[in-house]
Amino acid sequence: MAKKYEFDYDLIVIGSGAGGSAAANIAASEGKKVAIIESDTFGGDSPNWSDIPTKALLHAANLFDEACHGARFGLRSATLGYNYPSIRAWKDLAVKRTGAGNNRNYYESQGINTFNGSAHFLSPNEITVNRRHLSASNFLIATGSHWGVTDITGLDTIKYLTPRTILEELRPPKSLMIIGGGDTGIEIAQLMAVFGTKVYIAEKAGRLLPRYDKEAGETIERILTEQKGVTVLTHSRVVSVEKDGLGKKVIISRAETEKSVRVDEVLVAIGRKPTVDFGLENAGVVYTAKGIEVNNFLQTNIKHIFAAGDVLGRSYHTHTAILESRIAANNILHRTKVAPNYSATPEIIFTNPEIATVGLSEDDCTKCKMSINKSIAPLNIIARSNTSDFRDGFVKIITDKKGVIIGATIVAPHAGEMIHELTLAVKYNLTATQIANTPHAFLSWSEAIRVAASKLS
């Protein structure tokens, strides 16, 4: 009888971010021998350079912005100022407090072996890291994604910023061109504009946030331009960039004409690409530049190799990666396989006001030729808009023809908290009538949800 081959590990997780960490912890807690490999800083993108630091900076910016506009409430704020190095120190403290950033010691304390280096597959069961060979009976690939270089002429000849590197700038630039009007681009636009930067946004599509309901993009564009002084250039393609003295000259094509904009800095907020260059072909794993291909159970074509998170090329949301990591762990450890359910996954953009969505957008329904009903309740029809003097925003609800809620968008203060009521509705097939008949506390922003639902009941 042939001896069963013994591997170094039961599971090797490649990537310590949201897509890998949950699975590594679950497997270790069930007594499996686990290793986790990280090529960059342990904890991955979200706690180190994305969600946590960006939102910490945005919180400070929102406080400053609110205080600067306090005169309408009778507050004296004319002499208010800020110290950006101190704001960066607050951001660093917020990152440290979460414990998820640079957290190699945590994994070691859980009995997980850690390796800081680039993994490379040698075969379906073997990898090399730091010239050391490791083998495992199962693998989870959670290498995430990275900001890729776009095909803009001259971009490789200048020093440009990314959403990661701008967090380490010593001070906000005097002027900034942001290439890309998606969620990351508009968060950074508002952050920098509050601290005095003259911001330009160039977006190929006809509106900001082209993946979201048009009302969301139109509302945030109005707020950015009218209240924050941002110049929004939609239907605009950045053709080239070049050095111009101490600054940069950006050539933009718009309506078949070209114009140039001179700025101190350029930030590229498009072109995020799955990280797949680590010898997957040696393992026989099927992948493309758009990501690794998996089945409904997050399993690649090689049955003992799974993948989760941004490397799939589907979504760039931390909570989605955590969901997939937990599902992958179950499917690696247990015979009964389960599939992740993405139908009720909320998305939040932390601008002021916040933008939150769940389920299908109106564009999604149009593409699927679905018959729907929809309603919009502007914030200015509820009492809270008067006491807070905030009137820009709305709640939009989409139902099928039976009145079941299938999608929603909220633009409002605290939209990120409000969206979960409608997330519950999407997940459990609640109707607009059921939401409308649920008491909503007076003087809460959530009254707008009740009003929007009542229009459909």
192 and 172 housed in the same domain: yes
127 and 180 housed in the same domain: no
The answer to whether position 66 is within a domain reads no
Torsion from C-alpha of 403, 405, 411, 416, nearest 10 degrees: 150
The answer to whether position 137 is within a domain reads yes
184 and 251 housed in the same domain: yes
Q: What percent of the chain has pLDDT over 70?
A: 99
Of the residues 224, 254, 270, the one at which a domain ends? 270
Contact 185, 349 (CB under 8 A): no
Q: Compute CA 340 distance to the chain's CA centroid, rounded to the nearest angstrom.
A: 19
- Identify the CATH number of the domain in which residue 440 sits: 3.30.390.30
| Amino acid 252: pLDDT | 97
229 and 357 housed in the same domain: no
Alpha carbons 125 and 12: distance in angstroms, whole number:
10
Angle (deg, nearest 10), helices 18-29 and 318-333: 30
The answer to whether position 278 is within a domain reads yes
| Amino acid 4: pLDDT | 58
| Amino acid 77: pLDDT | 81
The answer to whether position 178 is within a domain reads yes
| Amino acid 54: pLDDT | 96
Alpha carbons 316 and 19: distance in angstroms, whole number:
11
Of the residues 224, 239, 270, the one at which a domain ends? 270
| Amino acid 200: pLDDT | 98
User: Tens digit of pLDDT for each residue in 22-57?
Assistant: 999 999 999 999 999 999 999 999 999 999 999 999
| Amino acid 1: pLDDT | 42
- Identify the CATH number of the domain in which residue 313 sits: 3.50.50.60
Place of tokens 């331009």: 225
280 and 265 housed in the same domain: no
240 and 176 housed in the same domain: yes
The answer to whether position 310 is within a domain reads yes
The answer to whether position 443 is within a domain reads yes
SS3 assignment, position 245: coil
| Amino acid 361: pLDDT | 95
Rg (CA), the chain: 24
| Burial of 309: CB neighbours in 10 Å, binned 0-12, 13-18, 19+ | buried
User: Tens digit of pLDDT for each residue in 308-345?
Assistant: 999 999 877 899 999 999 999 999 999 999 999 998 99
Tell me the one-letter amino acid at 207.
R
DSSP at 130:
T
252 and 168 housed in the same domain: yes
202 and 303 housed in the same domain: no
Alpha carbons 447 and 383: distance in angstroms, whole number:
9
Q: Point out the residues of the chain with pLDDT beneath 70.
A: 1-4
Q: Can you give the residue range of the structural domain that contains 311?
A: 9-44+101-147+273-333
211 and 302 housed in the same domain: no
142 and 277 housed in the same domain: yes
176 and 39 housed in the same domain: no
DSSP string, 35-76: EEEESSSTT-HHHHHSHHHHHHHHHHHHHHHHHHTGGGGT--
407 and 427 housed in the same domain: yes
Domains contained in the chain, number:
3
Contact 263, 175 (CB under 8 A): yes
